[in-house]
Amino acid sequence: SGLIDARALLIAGYLLAGAAALAYELLWMRMLTILLGAGSESAIVTSGAFMLGLGAGAWLGAHRPRHTPVRLLLWGVAALEAALAGLALASGVWGKGLDAAADALAAALGWAWAAALVAGIAMVVPAWLMGVGFGWAARAAKPLKLPLGYLYGANTLGAALGALWPLVAMPRWGWWVALRWAAMLGLMGATCLGWAGARAGGLEAGVPETQRGEQRTALFAYALVGAAALMLEMGWMRLFGAVFMRTEYVMALLLAVYLAGIGLGGWLAHHIGRRWLAWLVPVASVWACLSVALLPQVARLWSAQGFGSYAQALGVAGIAVAVAMLPITLLLGLWLPWAAGRDEGGRWYAANSLGAALGAWVGGGAGLAWLGAPRIVVVASLLLWLAASAWVRRGAWLAGAAFVVPAALWAWPLAPSTAYLADSQGARELFRHEDALAWTSVVARADGTRMLVQDLRRMDAATDPTAVFV
């Protein structure tokens, strides 16, 4: 029937749109390294700006326009996807103006702030279009009787595939060809979404419900979930990147596993009742703490292995990352459909994305310098447990503290860099500093030599103890 066809086309279109969106994000982030460099601070600025745009756009899309036929909403989403593809194809034009804009602002703001502002705006605008599209798609899904989890899951699973696309395409064809192919994916998604609108018949999207007081509390709690999710991502990126080689391949693998877990969780939410939240949150929080506390042992085992090829090493790293991440990211995927309930979901997605922007900037910026990546993961696990209080009965929520708090206390102490190095017997850490750029340590070996270690990579060594200053 037409209704079934519309649902299938909406899922297919939104899967393709998710793949294109992450490919755009990563390829535009590569373009913005001209302004921001290729370090962690670049990812913090651009990721936060991207999530801010998503949240602001989704909030608007969830509330405007009010009385609208479903077919117009879907045609609107298709038009937005086509506009995004056009932005991608025109990147060579507007991208050249970013450097000039930063130069013009640098006299008043300084180069670093000017570059961050220009790069942030460059990411906010397309992300805002994506967010509006999600708000409209979520409103269209309800009259079509398409569960929110299916829509969200398809979009995020597509994003997981899109995270890998630049790494497959750029070495073979270059940045520009990779971006053009991503735009083709977006146009294919737009075609499916437009076709879905044509098959939707005369259905009309309802007027969004007025927020109640208890819903505002839950929306704030779900924003905390978003903040915790991005803090986890930033902490894991730093830690796993240090242990498993900080290369673009490993970073893309981390992002793909992270998004795949969320997408799978969203897809499963329709089949798993929300009553499981009381059990899953403590398990996920404890698991996140374990991923930090046990990482030094994993790093030592990794260092002692001899791999026959880079592909083999990447495969083993992928398994380790999946074991560490999937229990938590599955919960993150389940949470949106559970939180939204019978609501259309756009405003919940918006609250989560706005919280994620804050988590990227605070957790990934100042948080790394103040606390360090391991403690950022621990704080994020506590935020997940705290946010669950909006949905879980008080008795069950407090019972979870018996597991979450001891795990957090166990994982809180910072292990020295020597704990991660396989050949560091008798060595001791003399100095440690961590910020948005890197984790840097000075290590004294048993024979008196000192090493400068950055992200667990030996940068310099000398037999003269004063050669590496502390």
Say if 1-197 and 212-415 have the same CATH topology. Answer: yes
The CATH number fitting domain 1-197, selected from 2.40.70.10, 1.20.1560.10, 1.20.1250.20, 3.40.50.1980:
1.20.1250.20
Q: Tens digits of per-residue pLDDT, 131-150?
A: 999 999 999 998 999 999 99
Confidence check: pLDDT of 209 > 60 = no
Q: What does residue 451 show for φ and ψ, rounded to 5 degrees?
A: -120, 140
- CATH class of the region 212-415: mainly alpha
Cα gap 167→55, rounded to integer Å? 27
pLDDT tier at 115, thresholds 50, 70, 90: confident
Write down the domain spans for the chain: 1-197, 212-415, 421-462
Residue 259, pLDDT score: 95
What does the pLDDT read at residue 3? 67
Which pLDDT belongs to residue 461?
Answer: 55
353 CB neighbour count, 10 Å cutoff: 27
- Residue 40 confidence (pLDDT): 62
Average pLDDT of 363-368?
80
- Tell me the pTM: 0.90
Q: How would residue 281 be classed by pLDDT, with cut points 50, 70 and 90?
A: very high
Contacts of 452 (CB under 8 A, 6+ apart): 440, 441, 442, 458, 459, 460, 461, 468
Share of the chain above pLDDT 70, in %: 92
> Minimal CA–CA distance to 334: which of 282, 382, 268, 387?
268
Where residue 80 falls among pLDDT bands split at 50, 70, 90?
very high
- The whole-number average pLDDT for the span 297-301 is 86
Of residues 435 and 62, which shows the higher confidence score?
62
Comparing 55-59, 101-105, 190-194, 215-219, the range with the smallest average pLDDT is: 101-105
Tell how far CA 104 is from the center of its chain.
32
Query: What average pLDDT score do residues 248-255 get?
Result: 78
**Nearest partner of 35 among 125, 139, 105, judged by Cα:** 105
pLDDT of residue 146: 93
Residue with the larger pLDDT of the pair 67 and 372 = 372
- Distance in angstroms (rounded) separating the CA atoms of residues 457 and 451: 10
* Mean pLDDT, range 47-61, rounded to an integer: 93
| Higher-scoring residue by pLDDT: 73, 247 | 73
| pLDDT tens readout for residues 420-459 | 887 777 788 888 888 777 788 888 888 778 888 887 776 6
Which pLDDT belongs to residue 148?
A: 93
Residue 156 has pLDDT above 80, yes or no: yes
pLDDT at 120: 83
Q: Does 38 score more than 60 pLDDT?
A: no
Task: Give me the pLDDT at residue 447, please.
Answer: 79
Structure tokens at 9: 């086309």
